[in-house]
Amino acid sequence: MRYLLVLLTTILMLSLTACSDEVNTNTTNDTPLPSSSASSVSASAGKALFNQKLIDIQPGCITCHSLEKGVKLVGPSLAGIGKRAGTTVEGQPAEEFLRNAIIKPDDYVSEGFSAGQMPERIANVLTQEQADSLVLYLLTLQ
| Predicted confidence (pLDDT) per residue in 70-95, tens digit | 999 999 999 999 999 999 999 999 99
Give every CB contact of residue 69 below 8 A, 6+ residues apart in sequence.
Answer: 77, 79, 80
- The total number of structural domains in the chain stands at 1
CATH for 46: 1.10.760.10
In a domain, 14, yes or no: yes
In a domain, 36, yes or no: no
In a domain, 120, yes or no: yes
Give every CB contact of residue 51 below 8 A, 6+ residues apart in sequence.
Answer: 31, 60, 61, 62
> What pLDDT is recorded for position 4?
44
User: Per residue in 31-67, pLDDT tens?
Assistant: 344 444 445 899 999 999 999 999 988 899 999 999 9
Range of the domain at 52: 2-25+42-140
In a domain, 11, yes or no: yes
User: Does pLDDT of 3 surpass 70?
Assistant: no
In a domain, 34, yes or no: no
In a domain, 116, yes or no: yes
pTM: 0.71
